[in-house]
Amino acid sequence: MAGLDPATIKATLRAHGLSPSAPRVAIYAWLQTHHVHPTVDVIYRALRPKLKSLSRTTVYNVLHAFVEKGLANVVRSEDLELRYDGLLSPHAHFKCTQCGAIIDLGAIPDTLAQAVGLPAEAKPTELAVLFRGLCAACAKKRTADSEQRTAADATDKP
Ligand SMILES: [Zn+2]
Ligand SMILES: [Zn+2]
Pair 25, 11: CB distance under 8 Å: no
pLDDT tens-digit readout, 53-65: 999 999 999 999 9
Prediction pTM value? 0.83
Question: How far is ligand 2, taken at its centre, from the CA of residue 152, in Å?
Answer: 40
Per residue in 104-115, pLDDT tens?
999 999 899 999
Ligand nearest to the CA of 96: 1
- Using the mean position of ligand 2's atoms as its centre, give its distance from the Cα of residue 151 in Å: 39
Residue 96 CA, distance from chain mean position: 12
Output the domain CATH number for residue 35: 1.10.10.10
Q: Which residues of 93-131 are buried (b: 16+ CB within 10 A; e: fewer)?
A: bbbbeeeeebeeeeeeeeeeeeeeeeeeeeeeeeeeeee
Looking at the fold, whether 24 and 6 belong to one and the same domain comes out as yes
Closest ligand to 139 CA? 1
Domain boundary residue, one of 88, 104, 124: 88
Statement: residue 93 has pLDDT above 70: yes
Give the angle 102-107-111 at the CA atoms, nearest 5°: 130
Tell me the ligand closest to 34's alpha carbon: 2
CA of 135 to the centre of ligand 1 (A): 4
Counted domains in the chain: 2
